[in-house]
Each structure stands twice: as structure tokens, then as C-alpha cells.
A and B are shown apart, each in its own frame.
Chain A
Amino acid sequence: MAQQTTASINEVKDWVLAKHTERQDIGADEDLIETRLVDSLSFVEFIFVIEQASGTEIDMDTLDLDDLRTLAAIEKRFFAG
């Protein structure tokens, strides 16, 4: 399961990197929101990418921002087996 999970969080990482071609990598604990790698305009698309990769529907009105701040938090919340 770990290999499949890692592959999925990498879809989210690849989406962020595709938006920021100046970056080669993103740390698992790097705050995507504080660093504005994900800003309010791209946030909805960011949620959509996580939903598509994880197969989980995310309610925008009740989501916990801390579950989405880092790749590690996203993986733990949405991709843990």
C-alpha cells in the first residue's frame, strides 16, 4: 500500500511543481499556504487535485486548513491507507 500511497501524494506534489517551475522540489513539511505555493485563487483547484488523487470528497466549508498545509499532512489525512 505504501508504494500506491506515495504515488498519489506525488500527484499533488507534481501539480504544485507544475505551477511553480522555478522550484525543483517541495519539502514534505513545507507550508504550501504560508509560502503561497498555493494561494486563494489556486486553492480550489488544489482541493480538486487532492480529491481526484485520493478519491476523497472534501467539503470546502468544513475542511481544516491544517490538514492541507503540508504534503505530509495531506498524505496523512487523505492518503493513509
Chain B
Amino acid sequence: MSLRIGVDLVPLSRAQALLEPDNQLVLARMLHVDEISECMRGGHLDPSSVAGRLAVKEAVFKLFRCRDAVVPWQSIHVEGLPGTWPVVYLDGAAAKLARAAGIRSEISVSISHDGAYAVAVAATTME
């Protein structure tokens, strides 16, 4: 049994850029509707929450250790209301990449925000 981890850092400025009106169609390809609604704070999209979810998806993607694929944003699902532990589940392309990488166990994630950055770690155990 071995441990595999992935980490990712997202500047809030890059999440903020995705919240611009011109980029809403782009963001909708990276986060699901329910993920976007979980990022709402006071009726507005919170860049910190968006950055955290993007960082989680990238950190999980790094567990797959594949070079010639792009982050399957829509098939890595992040759930987690404020004050709860984030939970990740995979389907579609992400589940396929995980199987190909030999990932059979649960993937645990953790997010942190401080100042201008969000950071996320993803971990799983390998047979």
C-alpha cells in the first residue's frame, strides 16, 4: 500500500478573471451548476471559493499522473458547503483516468485559502 498525493495552488486573481461576464461560459465548463451555487456568498460568486474548487480539481487530476490529457473539469465533482469537509467523486473521463492510473480507493481532499491564494491537496492510497 502506498500513498499518492497531488497539490495545486490557484491565485485568487485568476479565479476573479473567470468571474468576469465574458468568461461565464468558460467557468461553466470548469464548474458544475451546483458547484457554482456552493461558491455563492451574499448573492455573489466568491473568488476564494471558486479558486479552492479549481485547485481541488487540479490536485485530483495530478493523482492520475497522465501527461497527454487535459483536466476533465466536468467529471471531477467537488461538494462542500461552508464549514464542511469537501468531498470529491469522479465520473466520466475522470473516472476513466483514475482507473487507468490504478486508483481504486477513496480520494481525500483538503482546501485552504490565505491572502491571494487557494491551495488544495488530494490524496489516495494505491494497492
Q: Tell me, rounded to whole Å, the shortest Cβ–Cβ distance linking A66 to chain B.
A: 8
In the complex, whether B93 has a CB less than 8 A from a CB of chain A is yes
Q: Quick one: CB contact mask for B47-69 with A, threshold 8 Å, 1 for yes?
A: 00000001000100100000011
| A60 interface neighbour in B10, B14, B61, B74, Cβ under 8 Å | B74
Interface residue stretch chosen among B25-33, B99-107, B108-116? B25-33
Instruction: Flag if B70 contacts A65 (CB, 8 Å).
Output: yes
Instruction: Flag if B69 contacts A65 (CB, 8 Å).
Output: yes
**Interfacial chain B residues near A47, Cβ < 8 Å:** 29
Interface residues on A, range: 10 to 19
Please report the C-alpha to C-alpha distance between residue A44 and residue B29 in the assembled complex, in whole angstroms.
Answer: 7
Dominant secondary structure at the A interface: helix
Dominant secondary structure at the B interface: helix
In chain B, residues 1-16, which have Cβ atoms closer than 8 Å to a Cβ of chain A? 10, 14
In the complex, whether B23 has a CB less than 8 A from a CB of chain A is yes
Interface residues on B, range: 20 to 34
Instruction: Flag if A43 contacts B71 (CB, 8 Å).
Output: yes
Instruction: Flag if B29 contacts A48 (CB, 8 Å).
Output: yes
In the complex, whether A29 has a CB less than 8 A from a CB of chain B is no
**Interfacial chain A residues near B72, Cβ < 8 Å:** 60-61
In the complex, whether B117 has a CB less than 8 A from a CB of chain A is no
Q: Quick one: CB contact mask for B77-103 with A, threshold 8 Å, 1 for yes?
A: 000000000000000110000000000
**Interfacial chain A residues near B23, Cβ < 8 Å:** 45
Instruction: Flag if A40 contacts B70 (CB, 8 Å).
Output: yes
Q: Tell me, rounded to whole Å, the shortest Cβ–Cβ distance linking A34 to chain B.
A: 10
In chain A, residues 1-58, which have Cβ atoms closer than 8 Å to a Cβ of chain B? 40-45, 47-48
**Interfacial chain B residues near A60, Cβ < 8 Å:** 29, 70, 72-74, 93
Shortest 10 CB-CB contacts between residues of A and residues of B: A45-B26, A61-B93, A40-B71, A44-B29, A48-B26, A44-B26, A65-B68, A44-B30, A41-B14, A43-B70
